[in-house]
Amino acid sequence: MKLNLVCIPGDGIGPEIVAEAKKVLNRVAEKYGHEIIEKDILMGGASIDVHGVPLTEEAIAQAKAADAVLMGSIGGDTNTSPWYQLPPNLRPEAGLLALRKALNLFANLRPAYLYEELAAACPLKEEISRAGFDMLIMRELTGGLYFGERKTVEENGVRKAIDTLTYDENEIRRIAIKAFEVARKRRGKVTSVDKANVLDSSRLWRAVVNEVAADYPDVTLEHMLVDNCAMQLVKDPAQFDVILTENMFGDILSDEASMVTGSIGMLSSASLNDTKFGLYEPSHGSAPDIAGKNIANPIATVLSAAMMLRYSFDLDKEADAVEEAVRKVLKEGYRTADIMSEGCQKVSCSQMGDLLSERI
């Protein structure tokens, strides 16, 4: 099969972790007889430095023409990087948001899974981590506060900023359907997270999710308020299967969920539209503090590449092989610095990529 990919190495640790994911993908292609055609495009700070904007029209067109996009991470230190002296619409993150919107990537899937081998890195009490957990956050990605009208004005000498949270029923319905479909292939439970005790957008969210649920009698639905969900994630993460939520809540809860897995360096993600196209990226950021040191954990990006094989190319066997390689390497005791624990062998980012490739 021909895999027509666009890669976005991005900023910070992005180029290092994408290089390792490419290494693994090339090994998969070699072993299973596929051909990878890949092209790198610039986005985020890397694009600002060259083109003055975080994403060019040409880069969007190239991403659109691919079957899938594999991304590292974008952005820099918001306190020190000159990128953050630019107007907000020219900063690195604006490139990612523009790409999500241009490709209509409304469904963001973020699995959070506790590997047995990493239980020691889990910051929760042992009696909680012992039960393990395996959840998937289905985050709405092209609506809500991120894309509502915003402005900063001055009224009578007082500065005032406005962000708007808007959802229409169609936006809610399509992401709810994705959540129920995924739940069917998992343990059959959806927890829809909102703030329906305060927000109108959440009340509509709840009503539409209930309507969609009627078509999925085999899936259990529960509603949970977002503040309670934040608490439940550290109290009893095993209760969750699929968490369905809007853009901003999903951003926050997915970072929390990833942290309880032991390291944010382990979590993959897929951003999908209604076709087979997808953008795959680790859930973590660009970690500028450790960039260029060859110590980042490439596993989240490698697992994102596995999601790409599964969702965009239907290459389940190949995706399984990549996930199995991750499990093997962990079982054999190899760890990057972020997940290091006593008795294990510490390896660099590129060594981790080599070890993973060798196990495919």
Residues at the interface with ligand IPM (CB under 6 A): 75, 93, 96, 251
Q: How far is the CB of 99 from Mg ion (least distance, A)?
A: 15
- Is-catalytic flag, 320? no
- Of Mg ion, ligand IPM, none, which one sits near residue 75, judging by CB under 5 to 8 A according to partner kind? ligand IPM
**By Cβ distance, which residue is nearest to Mg ion?**
251
Q: What is the largest CA-CA distance in the chain?
A: 68
* Active-site entry in 77, 255, 346, 354: 255
Which of 11, 115, 146, 178 is the catalytic position? 146
Does the active-site annotation cover 146?
yes
Q: Is 251 marked active-site?
A: yes
Of residues 148 and 188, the one with the C-beta less far from ligand IPM: 148
C-beta closer to Mg ion: residue 73 or 357:
73
- The residue behind tokens 């390792």 is 20
Q: From the CB of 131, what's the least distance to ligand IPM, in Å?
A: 27
Which tokens is 54 given?
Answer: 């975080």
> Which amino acid type is present at position 251?
D
Q: Are 283 and 297 in contact (CB under 8 A)?
A: no
Classify residue 249 by its DSSP letter: H
Q: Which is nearer to Mg ion, 237 or 285 (CB)?
A: 285
Integer CA distances (angstroms), 157 to 37, 154, 161, in order: 56, 6, 13
Map residues 215-254 to x or -, x wherever contact with Mg ion holds by CB under 5 A.
------------------------------------x---
Contact call for residue 140 and Mg ion (CB under 5 A): no
Q: How do beta strands 242-245 and 189-194 pair?
A: parallel
Radius of gyration of the chain (CA): 20
Decide if 77 is catalytic.
no
Amino acid at 32: Y
Half-sphere exposure of 205 (CA within 13 A, CB side): 30
Per the structure block, which two tokens stand in for 15?
Answer: 């180029």
Distances (CA, A) of 320 to 26, 245, 325, 327: 15, 27, 8, 10
Instruction: Pick the catalytic residue from 163, 227, 236, 320.
Output: 227
Nearer to ligand IPM, 140 or 194 (CB): 140
Report the nearest approach of Mg ion to the CB of residue 342 (Å): 31
Residue 93 interaction partner, one of ligand IPM, Mg ion, none, beta carbon < 5-8 Å per kind:
ligand IPM
Residue nearest to ligand IPM (CB): 93
- Considering the complex, state which of residue 241 and residue 251 has its C-beta at the smaller distance from ligand IPM: 251
Provide DSSP, 293-310: TT-S--HHHHHHHHHHHH
* Minimum CB distance to ligand IPM, residue 44 (Å): 9
CA distance 334 to 331: 8
Nearest Cα neighbor of 90 from 51, 62, 63 is 51
Q: Give me the DSSP letters along 309-352.
A: HHHTT--HHHHHHHHHHHHHHHHTTEE-GGG--TTSEE--HHHH
Please, which residue, 167 or 216, has the CB nearer to ligand IPM?
A: 167
Min dist CB 281 to Mg ion, Å, is 11
Catalytic residues: 146, 195, 227, 251, 255
- The residues that touch Mg ion, with contacts defined as CB under 5 A, are 251
